[in-house]
Amino acid sequence: NGSYVKDLSVVDADLSRVCLVDNSPASYAINQANGIPIEGWINDPHDECLLDLLPMLD
């Protein structure tokens, strides 16, 4: 369907400490527990979606 799937098992890290922020749920389908959905970015200079995630990631 033209989607990319990102397999976090190739990352040499403790997956309980890894997250995947993406606007496409298909991209983290293999590692759903690690996925954090976010709105797509379309050249909006006022977009603060990533900043809004900081408290959750701290």
Contact 22, 46 (CB under 8 A): no
7-57 pLDDT per residue, tens: 999 999 999 999 999 999 999 999 999 999 999 888 889 999 999 999 988
Number of other CB atoms surrounding residue 6 within 10 Å: 17
Q: What is the pLDDT of residue 32?
A: 96
Q: What is the pLDDT of residue 27?
A: 95
Q: Where are the domains of the chain?
A: 8-57
Q: What is the pLDDT of residue 57?
A: 87
Number of other CB atoms surrounding residue 49 within 10 Å: 13
**Longest CA pairwise span in the chain (Å):** 35
Q: pTM here?
A: 0.80
Contact 20, 12 (CB under 8 A): no
Q: What is the pLDDT of residue 58?
A: 79
